[in-house]
Amino acid sequence: MDFKVSILGFIVGFLVGVTGTGGGALLTPLLIVLGWAPPMMAVGTDLVWSTITKAAGALVHWRQQTVDFTIVKRLALGSIPGALVGLALLAHLHTSGGADRSDRLVLRMLGVALVAVALSMFWRCFRKPHKAAAGQPEENVRRLAWLTTLAGLVVGFLVSLTSVGSGSLIIASLVILYRGTPLRRIVGSDIVHALLLVGVAAVGHLGIGSINLSLLKSLLIGSIPGVWLGSRMTAVVPEKALRPVLGTTLLLLGYKLL
């Protein structure tokens, strides 16, 4: 077991517990920047890590009945095919052009995804809450459904390549599209959908062989108590104070990778 990796897992897990976002967005680029894993290996390992950590959160939200399965279904209709397309692209590059080409693609897409996540976090810091709408015409409901699926498609493709976006980008999209939905239901729906999405992407990376099991074990040893402690500290540490700091960190990491 590498204690340095476990300490990193603890820090990232704590931030996830406090803010609900930032797991993949922080963990993958840090593994790359610190030289602990090449890009594809960092993405694959992080996706398995995310699947395990999100499973606990999904169970909690399901028991609390804070999941809108209509939203989950709409997202999954786009995100699962998007993830499969991304995995097929990675597998093709990995077999035909070697690891270098796939690693370069992952780095560029990761940089773009981090900048997008950082901007979405800044937007969430300054947005004003919206009042719930009384009802919507049927054509607006259909429009909302395909826009949700489209958002899932784009994010699913990004997640399979970078492991980033299953939480941050989806929540940002849902807050815009479902303005009258309580935030706790948006978060619960996002976590359940993210479990499905990262699970599919993780299985794909397992098939490609881009997962470091010893690295994963060390990360989990630190992140599990980190997530627990961070969740307990949500009443003490204000999320609004941490979000701009986290957003700035992700913006700098994205710029470095680009």
- Domain segments of the chain as ranges: 3-257
Model confidence at 67: pLDDT above 60: yes
**C-alpha to C-alpha distance for 200 and 256, rounded to whole angstroms:** 29
pTM value is: 0.78
Find the range with the poorest average confidence among 128-132, 138-142, 174-178, 200-204. Answer: 128-132
**Please, what's the b/e burial string for 207-230 (b: 16 or more CB within 10 A of its CB; e: otherwise)?**
ebebbbeebbebbbbbbbebbeeb
Assess whether pLDDT exceeds 60 at residue 234. no
Mean pLDDT of 108-136: 70
At position 232, the amino acid (one-letter code) is R
pLDDT value at residue 151: 92
Q: Which of 162, 228, 152, 226 is nearest to 196 (CA)?
A: 152
Q: Tens of pLDDT along 46-55?
A: 999 988 887 8
User: Is the pLDDT confidence value at 255 over 80?
Assistant: no
Mean pLDDT computed over 151-169: 85
**53-58: long-range pairs with CB below 8 Å, 24+:** 53/13, 53/16, 53/23, 53/223, 53/224, 53/227, 54/191, 54/194, 54/195, 54/198, 55/195, 56/227, 57/191, 57/195, 58/191, 58/192, 58/194, 58/195
Mean pLDDT of the chain: 81
Q: What percent of the chain has pLDDT over 70?
A: 83
Indicate the angle between helix axes 183-208 and 138-162, nearest 10 degrees.
Answer: 40
The yes-or-no verdict on residue 106 having pLDDT over 60 is yes
Q: Residue 168 has what pLDDT?
A: 72
pLDDT surpassing 70 at residue 124: no
Does 141 score more than 70 pLDDT? Answer: yes
Is the pLDDT at 184 greater than 80? The verdict is no
Is pLDDT above 60 for 131?
no
Average pLDDT over residues 150-166: 88
